Structure 1
């Protein structure tokens, strides 16, 4: 029986991936500092089809427990851009990756799949972005992902089989975070601020399409490779947001904001810790941002199913159905983010 181990197993991607792997008939082990908090997966633990390790990817003992006997390790644990300091982000994203990769090498794991990010490309001038383009990450988060990818290359030279997956921002049921802010404003019919005129193309990704690509990477001949993963169909920011507003039957209207003044204000609020938006969010929101997925299509025999608009609408429907069950604000994708100063903007929108 194949054993797939997932770091960050209680996170948004980790839960979706664990469910898929179990459905495919493999066993699963997860590692996370947070509990699973999912009835279906908790039942799988009780039935012996899944093991939950509560611990930290930076702890060598916990990392060894994660990888022991695993055929494939998916390293999905990460500190997000909303974290308050460079040190906090780097500690998890770089030191944690080093610990897990070292344990996997020692345990002779067949393959490690690192979940990286297209944040490693920074703010490129040319699109679509391809895997060989320069890596110049935006902010602490992008920089930490570049370092983690370099660790994969270093461990690869020591004999560890690694694959790097670079997803666009992925969305789907149970995804909250910054999207909960958008959905909340649309539900209330507020004006939706857009940096610039919204004519830029910004590619997203359905979590189920990401999971499919990750699962296909377990056995595909892509050792040592990096793969961009994103939606196949997407419009402009204005078009995709309007499709969501129309789907919601909301009275919301798009509210274009001048880019430079908005960036200055958002930067000041970020530094003062009065905004949930990080540099990555506001420096890329008004620009084209889309990657070529031809390599993944070819090497994984993979094709994304959902467009930006379809993904946003499906996630909004899930949000409406579950919004009364939501927990207090936090700093992961699975909980709402504190709107902080954006709450003042909401009142006048």
Structure 2
């Protein structure tokens, strides 16, 4: 299977930008799909050979490529509690329009990498979660991802070559607000001397992969000659607490670690205490392994937020 041109949905998002840059570094042509428009000054233009604007909940645009990395959709778990049906409908509609269109007229597309989430798993405590681990429906976001996976399994049975990635939490340069690392960086910058930092539960631990390693994983799944399974975890196998993250951010900013005050309103219902992933299946079938050190990810995130 030869991949020369890839289509990236949601290319202007946090992960999409890194997938585009990584693809270009591998000599691939990149066609990006955005919902709105790209500012002429946006540096993403340097990574794209072509871009189109389309509301993917309404239909699939007239684009051609050898493969698709599907990232478009709603990404924040917390926000899904306030708009549950929007999350469910948005993700489902996009997959339906894309896959039905590619079934009718594939235009050279040989593989789709669809992105789900490691958030679909029940908490495993200290036990790393692999692709056979129990599932827990803990948020509308998770419901939307499980629906996406079911749709992709259906379209795989219809003849599309589909791979589903389940990435655990990811961090790195360019992540927007609404996620732990960028929010802590912004709040640290605005914190008055000797003031307490308002936080959620920093005692919970998650498996954080650098976004650039995540981008490599998606492209490795895209180009591997064959895949034995539908679903592949993307994870480091190490969990970090929010306290560890705050310490790394403070060190990167050259500041002392502030005292914290827990804001109960920032704690999500049913939040697991510890989640760590097992990506052995991905490592076994591709050459992927996480390369970027956790501390480096935090330093780069802080530097990019200046």
Q: TM-score, normalised by structure 1?
A: 0.76
2:45 — aligned with what?
Answer: 42
1:317 — aligned with what?
Answer: 303
Residue 191 in 1 paired to residue 196 in 2?
Answer: yes
Q: 1:164: Cα distance to partner?
A: 0.6
Checking the alignment, whether the CA contact within 8 Å between 2:239 and 2:275 is kept in structure 1 is no
Residue 92 in 1 paired to residue 90 in 2?
Answer: yes
Secondary structure (helix, strand or coil) at the match of 2:223 reads coil
Distance 1:158 1:224, change over 3 A: farther
2:286 — aligned with what?
Answer: 300
Distance between the aligned counterparts of 1:188 and 1:252, measured in 2?
A: 14
Distance between the aligned counterparts of 1:64 and 1:311, measured in 2?
A: 35
1:137-180 deviations in Å (ceiling 9; x for gaps): 32111100000000010011111110011112222221121233
Distance between the aligned counterparts of 2:115 and 2:124, measured in 1?
A: 21
Q: 1:92: Cα distance to partner?
A: 1.6
Checking the alignment, whether the CA contact within 8 Å between 1:9 and 1:30 is kept in structure 2 is yes
Distance between the aligned counterparts of 2:233 and 2:131, measured in 1?
A: 7
Secondary structure (helix, strand or coil) at the match of 2:11 reads coil
Distance between the aligned counterparts of 2:124 and 2:198, measured in 1?
A: 23
Q: How does 1:9-24 map to 2 (within 5 A)?
A: 9-24=11-26
2:249 — aligned with what?
Answer: 244
Distance between the aligned counterparts of 2:104 and 2:229, measured in 1?
A: 18
Q: Runs of 5+ in structure 2 lacking a partner? A: none
Checking the alignment, whether the CA contact within 8 Å between 1:201 and 1:289 is kept in structure 2 is yes
Distance 1:34 1:224, change over 3 A: farther
Checking the alignment, whether the CA contact within 8 Å between 2:198 and 2:260 is kept in structure 1 is yes
Checking the alignment, whether the CA contact within 8 Å between 1:4 and 1:29 is kept in structure 2 is yes
Distance 1:99 1:203, change over 3 A: same
Secondary structure (helix, strand or coil) at the match of 1:217 reads helix
RMSD: 2.5
Q: How does 1:244-283 map to 2 (within 5 A)?
A: 244-255=249-260, 257=262, 262=264, 265-266=265-266, 279=268, 283=270
Checking the alignment, whether the CA contact within 8 Å between 2:252 and 2:298 is kept in structure 1 is no
Q: TM-score, normalised by structure 2?
A: 0.85
Checking the alignment, whether the CA contact within 8 Å between 1:166 and 1:228 is kept in structure 2 is yes
Q: Provide the aligned length of Structure 1 versus Structure 2.
A: 292
Q: 1:126: Cα distance to partner?
A: 6.1
Higher helix share: 1
Q: 1:309: Cα distance to partner?
A: 3.0
Q: Runs of 5+ in structure 1 lacking a partner? A: 268-278, 321-349
Distance between the aligned counterparts of 1:33 and 1:195, measured in 2?
A: 32
1:109-137 deviations in Å (ceiling 9; x for gaps): 21000011112114445621111112223
Distance between the aligned counterparts of 2:53 and 2:119, measured in 1?
A: 28
Distance between the aligned counterparts of 1:185 and 1:162, measured in 2?
A: 40
1:26 to 28, 31, 34: 28
Checking the alignment, whether the CA contact within 8 Å between 2:8 and 2:33 is kept in structure 1 is yes
Secondary structure (helix, strand or coil) at the match of 1:228 reads strand
Q: 1:217: Cα distance to partner?
A: 0.7
